[in-house]
Amino acid sequence: MESWATFGGDLHLDLTGRRAGGLGLRAALEDALREAVQDGRLAPGTRLPSSRALGGDLGIARNTVVEAYTQLTAEGWLTARQGTGTTVADRAAPPVPATASETAPTRPPVRYDLLPGRPDLSLFPRSAWLAAARRALTAAPDEALGYGSPLGRIELRRALAAYLARVRGVRTDPERILVCSGHTQGLGLLCGVLRERGATSLAVEAYGLAPLRAVVAASGLTRAALELDEGGARTDALAGTGAGAVLLTPAHQFPVGAPLSAHRRAAAVEWARRTDGFVIEDDYDGEFRYDRQPVGAMQALDPERVVHSGTASKSLAPGLRLGWLALPRALVAPVARLKQLADAQSGVLDQLTLAELIGSGTYDRHVRRCRLHYRRRRDRLVAALAERAPGVRVTGVAAGLHAVLLLPPDGPSEAELIARGAAAGLALGALADCHDEGAGAAPAPPGLVIGYGTPPEHAFAGALDALCGLLGRG
Amino acid sequence: MESWATFGGDLHLDLTGRRAGGLGLRAALEDALREAVQDGRLAPGTRLPSSRALGGDLGIARNTVVEAYTQLTAEGWLTARQGTGTTVADRAAPPVPATASETAPTRPPVRYDLLPGRPDLSLFPRSAWLAAARRALTAAPDEALGYGSPLGRIELRRALAAYLARVRGVRTDPERILVCSGHTQGLGLLCGVLRERGATSLAVEAYGLAPLRAVVAASGLTRAALELDEGGARTDALAGTGAGAVLLTPAHQFPVGAPLSAHRRAAAVEWARRTDGFVIEDDYDGEFRYDRQPVGAMQALDPERVVHSGTASKSLAPGLRLGWLALPRALVAPVARLKQLADAQSGVLDQLTLAELIGSGTYDRHVRRCRLHYRRRRDRLVAALAERAPGVRVTGVAAGLHAVLLLPPDGPSEAELIARGAAAGLALGALADCHDEGAGAAPAPPGLVIGYGTPPEHAFAGALDALCGLLGRG
């Protein structure tokens, strides 16, 4: 076998195997080149190295290469042209893969995506991110690029500790922050630690994000549902669950929207202290609060009992896969150990860039801009529905990127509306999908979960119009 | 560890050891400078390099140097003068600071790091990476930044499929490639799928990387060791293991070095076919082969039975946390499912950047440059040991970033040499640490595993000298 690094790239040519199979050197080279053209590794038009260079690379006589090129040119695999040397012939294209019609989706295409849980991706600050990446990578020491602490880069942990204290009232320090690959991974790591501590069950809100339920289930924990009312999750019912921890969305219940009341917060922390349990505070959109009463992080009530879990998925982009946990002291080592086993650490370049973005104040400005953008959208949604679909009750809109639309009892059902929407190219979420039946929650009222942050700006008016047309009287 | 040759003489500043001892970067620099003034290596009146120059030399941020200079000036060790810059203070022996004994590391600092498993991080192509990131992020559609396929970005999977076919002879397509967060995560996902399929044991080579053993153990799989000989792992013994899969390093056994013989490869694939099992091919350094017989990927023998696992940790940097699996068709869905549960997908920005780097040919050129760099280092290591420590037998150096040094029976033991090395500031790996006792492997012969890729270029001569001094006769 030979590797060939002459024409701007390495090419693997197996001569040794062919020679062992009885071929002479020239025949082995011809055969290997033929196969490489045939299976597309050498694309049509690719310029081959000179016979001298290839002979040198392979440690064979130049003449052998000349003879092989001549033979393959005669066979039509290669083309020899004065001045440009030898190239792969144009007609040597490999067969076309499956046609478009075979791979096309059968459902009507989505024109307007109003599914919840995603930000407006067109807001991602590409230029600012690239500039911060340049500053961060230029300043980073070499060792930052190596294997590092499973907690993540110290630059980002420092920036987050200061930011979370300032913006969310979190009480933490860089040694208690673990950078993870989104809330998904953070929750998975925490569930793993709970299992190690002997827990068999996690208390959850009766409504939540379905993919997170799958993460809990995969860890081997069962779920015990807390019903919701206007004060948020019924944490007064925790005592009966036998759970090792409770997963809450205190700032803005997902998706129903109420903030967890002070009394319920205290009850959850009290329960955790009494049972040696923990509260996991999913602060998925804590930065996007539109009213005049920002709700501080629940973690501040007891940093040794509440894990604060944050993410850049809403404020920047889900594709970054950047999240963070502000951990009680007792959980730092076990969570770090599982993170080490999972993937050693999260990617350092994005961590360094986010640290730079936060440290320079760019992140703050970006979040403010996004908050204004989403607030305007919320106002447009609420106004349009009030005018064109007055039978629909809109809730949970004091914060976040989504709204819950409770449907009138005499209208079409949730499932029917979603089907009609799909037929019209409108993607909508069902409240029932957020409802945790597996955890024994009571049935959901009919409703839709509308992600008003999802469409790009140019599509929002059309999306609103389509939604109102679907829900309205005419 | 860092060497500094800016002001007309070499000065060794050990930052790595101090950082390993728990100091932050600035504190480590301050401590190292303090010590250099104190022990006279930096004489009174010596002019220090500019913060820009020293930062550049040490690969750290200029600001960190400025802050360290400011602090040491405040403490009286240095003097800052308009026009002449920063100099060592005139009074020769400043008082020992009260805190020095409290903050100083207790272990002797590491001057030369020859631990295996890491590349020379100073080779990371920062400018090329940033340029590729700019091109990639500028070209990416908004949807690339959202939640995407757990397999990873299609741009990178396409680039990898073509690259792996060309360079390693891998037979795959983009729909069978999963981008993961390094080989660590890839192996963890595969172990999880093996458990789901009912496997209880993974066959492994009798020598391997200890952290990977922890990943296997955490999945709940036991390990069955295959002994090694000159043909590589004894895959003919697989039948007796009852394992669900075998983890191999066919291109360059880690750390012993032999490539797996053709006969042993065939035996492993044959075993996998017969038992509905799989081969996991850890191709950790397949791109760094120095002789004239590159060993193609074992995966090509049977893409439905061999998982090819690759990584950017050696070719670019471990901190990227970018790896990939070329999967048998039957494993694509179950591995993707576990990846979705683990962290939804790997970060998209680095994926897009690597795709751009591969597609533009920059990655090929970078790998070739690294190959040459490491090959020269290997040659220097082998030559120095032959001359100065002829009793040591060097093996496994036809590829990779490390060498195994088998120790003469009449010399000091492995443990003794490592302790002596540590006392002299030389970090060395023990062959015994790679030896999988837990899997029932026979005892290891005394040896050292030397990562010759680890030190930055300016420290390599010193590291070689220290190593030869330790191992040689005089």
For A9, the closest of B130, B295, B364 (CB atoms) is B364
**Which residues neighbour A158 within 8 Å (Cβ) at sequence distance 6 or greater?**
A174, A355
Mean pLDDT comparison of A18-27, A178-187, A430-439, highest-scoring range: A178-187
Is the Cβ of B25 closer than 8 Å to some Cβ of chain A? yes
Distance from the Cα of A230 to chain B's closest Cα (Å) equals 31
Rounded to a whole number of angstroms, the distance from the CA of B138 to the nearest CA of chain A is: 8
Whole-number pLDDT of residue B20: 65
Q: Which of B83-97, B181-195, B251-265 has the lowest mean pLDDT?
A: B83-97
Q: SS3 of A116, please?
A: coil
The CATH code that applies to domain B112-120+371-471 is: 3.90.1150.10
Instruction: Tell if the CB–CB gap between B350 and A349 is shorter than 8 Å.
Output: yes
DSSP per-residue string spanning B279-294: EEEE-TTTT-B-SS-P
Write the residue in B130, B345, B364 that is nearest to A321 by C-beta: B345
**Which among B168, B317, B367 has the least Cβ separation from residue A145?**
B317
Instruction: Report the residue of chain A nearest B123, measured CA to CA.
Output: A142
Q: Say whether residue A102 is in contact with chain B using an 8 A CB cutoff.
A: no
Query: Which of 1.20.1070.10, 1.10.10.10, 3.40.50.150, 1.10.10.370 is the CATH number of B4-88?
Result: 1.10.10.10
Asked if B153 and B179 count as a contact pair (C-beta separation under 8 A), the reply is yes
Residue B384 has, within 13 A of its CA and on its CB side, a CA count of 20
Q: Does residue A76 sit at the B interface (CB-CB below 8 Å)?
A: no
Task: Quote the CA–CA distance of A115 and A429 in Å, as a whole number.
Answer: 5
Q: What is the pLDDT of residue B33?
A: 84
- Window 352-411 of B, Cβ < 8 Å to A: 361, 364-365, 367-368
Q: What is the mean pLDDT of chain A?
A: 88
- Cβ-nearest to B364 among A10, A180, A182: A10
| Cβ within 8 Å of residue A108, ≥6 positions away | A422, A423, A425
List pLDDT tens digits, range A35-83. Answer: 887 777 787 777 788 887 787 777 788 888 888 887 777 667 788 776 6
CB pairs under 8 A between A and B: 214
Could you give the C-alpha distances from B144 to A121, A429, B100, in angstroms and in order? Answer: 9, 21, 51
> What class does CATH assign to B124-364?
alpha beta
Min distance B117 CA to chain A CA atoms (Å) = 10
Taking only the tens place, the pLDDT of each residue in A355-389 is: 999 999 999 999 999 999 999 999 999 999 999 99
A321 shares contact with chain B (CB less than 8 Å): yes
Give the integer Cα–Cα distance in Å for B342 and A383: 40
How many C-beta atoms surround the C-beta of residue A459 within 10 A? 17
Name the residue in chain A with its Cα closest to that of B366: A9
Minimal C-alpha gap between B133 and chain A (Å): 8
Peptide bond into A150 cis (omega under 30): no
DSSP state of B407: P
Average the pLDDT over each of A72-86, A294-308, A455-469, B131-145 and give the range with the smallest value.
A72-86
Interface of A with B in 203-262 (CB under 8 A): 211, 214-215, 218
For residues A183 and A283, what is the distance between their CA atoms, to the nearest angstrom? 9
pLDDT at A6: 38
Distance CA(A225)–CA(A202), nearest Å, equals 9
Torsion of CA B50, B54, B59, B62, to 10 degrees: -30
Q: CA-to-CA distance for B393 and B412, rounded, in angstroms? A: 14
Q: Flag whether residue A80 sits within 8 Å of chain B, measured between CB atoms.
A: no
Q: Does B124 contact A145 at a Cβ distance shorter than 8 Å?
A: yes
Q: Is A142 near chain B, with CB under 8 Å?
A: yes
pLDDT in tens, B361-416: 999 999 999 999 999 999 999 999 999 999 999 998 988 999 999 999 888 989 99
Mean pLDDT of chain B: 88
Q: Is the pLDDT of residue B91 over 80?
A: no
Contact: A341, B181; criterion CB under 8 Å:
no
Contact predicate B145/A121, CB 8 Å: yes
Average pLDDT of span A321-349: 98
The predicted model gives A464-474 an average pLDDT of 87
Whether A112-120+371-471 shares its CATH topology with A124-364 is answered no
Q: Which long-range contacts (CB under 8 A, 24 or more apart) does B103-106 make?
A: B103/B23, B103/B27, B103/B31, B104/B21, B104/B31, B105/B17, B105/B18, B105/B20, B105/B21, B105/B22, B105/B23, B106/B21
Domain regions of chain A by residue span: 4-88, 112-120+371-471, 124-364
* pLDDT tens figures, A263-274: 999 999 999 999
ipTM at complex level = 0.81
Query: Residue A41 and residue B22: Cα distance in Å, rounded?
Result: 49
Res A473: pLDDT: 65
Q: Looking at residue A73, what is its pLDDT?
A: 76
- Residue B131, CA distances (Å) to A317, B357, B366 in order: 21, 9, 14
pLDDT at site B52 = 77
Only one residue has tokens 């999260």, namely: A346
The pTM of this model reads 0.80
Q: What angle do CA B411, B417, B421 make, to 5 degrees?
A: 145
Distances (CA, A) of B101 to B14, B22, B96, B97, B98: 17, 14, 9, 8, 7
